Amino acid sequence: GENVEQHPSTLSVQEGDSAVIKCTYSDSASNYFPWYKQELGKGPQLIIDIRSNVGEKKDQRIAVTLNKTAKHFSLHITETQPEDSAVYFCAASTGAGGTSYGKLTFGQGTILTVHP
Amino acid sequence: DTAVSQTPKYLVTQMGNDKSIKCEQNLGHDTMYWYKQDSKKFLKIMFSYNNKELIINETVPNRFSPKSPDKAHLNLHINSLELGDSAVYFCASSHTNYGELFFGEGSRLTVL
């Protein structure tokens, strides 16, 4: 089955700095890579996702890059703000339409702390 | 209006008891899930239902039994609770052909 490794487990940055979280996956058939943000006491919420036919995707301060050959993908947050502090999860699945989307294999999570 | 709602939010019970967690979504999605988050924050899928049919059943003890009375509801019943069942259980839903999962706020189960 799929295995997703996520690093670092904790990340502490100053407000305004950039933050980068990296993930690797094992199953070359995986083609859908979402990132979720989980705030304290809440459920995870999708912040950005990327499919394997795209190498990079950007949404305001958040970007994700995907290297299919190396089987790794990364989340980049620029100009971090204290409200970015949360646990971030990467995930992978072989969903390409159909019901496989939701069978996500999650990484271990990264606790991001942004200091004012 | 809450999109995916779970009840109860907190559940404290003794070993050996049976308990249920209920989930409802008002998003019109046709696929629902149960995920388990352990004390180290690790998230793992347990079950998935599509249009009331079980489509994903990971290696979960058969003490756990999901039930989907209709597309909008997916309940989780746990028999003979064990200490290791203590975790936060998240319900989620999605449209079948789109990736985004919408999670509930979680149900924290503590088994004493």
A69 pLDDT more than 90: yes
Q: Say what the pLDDT of residue A103 is.
A: 80
Beta-carbon neighbour count of residue A102 at 10 Å? 27
**Tens of pLDDT, residues B11-37:** 999 999 999 999 999 999 989 999 999
Residue A96's pLDDT band, with cuts at 50, 70 and 90, is low
**Which band of pLDDT confidence, cut at 50, 70 and 90, is reported for residue A99?**
low
Encoded tokens for B54: 């079980």
Q: What local confidence, expressed as pLDDT, does residue A70 receive?
A: 94
pLDDT of residue B53: 85
E strands, A26-104, in order:
32-38, 45-51, 56-59, 62-67, 72-77, 86-92
**pLDDT band at residue A33, thresholds of 50, 70 and 90?**
very high
Per the CB < 8 A criterion, the answer to whether A38 and A86 are in contact is yes
Is the pLDDT higher at A56 or at A96? A56
d(CA B100, CA B48): 14
- What residue ranges of chain B have pLDDT lower than 50? none
Q: How many CB atoms lie within 10 A of CB A2?
A: 16
Give the mutation candidate from A49, A87, A99 for the B interface (greatest B CB count, under 10 A): A99
* CA–CA gap between residue B90 and residue A93 (Å, rounded): 18
Minimal C-alpha gap between A59 and chain B (Å): 16
Mark yes or no for CB contact B56/A109 under 8 Å. no
Neighbour tally for A68: CB within 10 Å: 15
Residue A102: what pLDDT?
Answer: 65
Residues of B in contact with A49 (CB under 8 A): 99-100
Task: Check residues A99 and B14 and name the one with the higher pLDDT.
Answer: B14
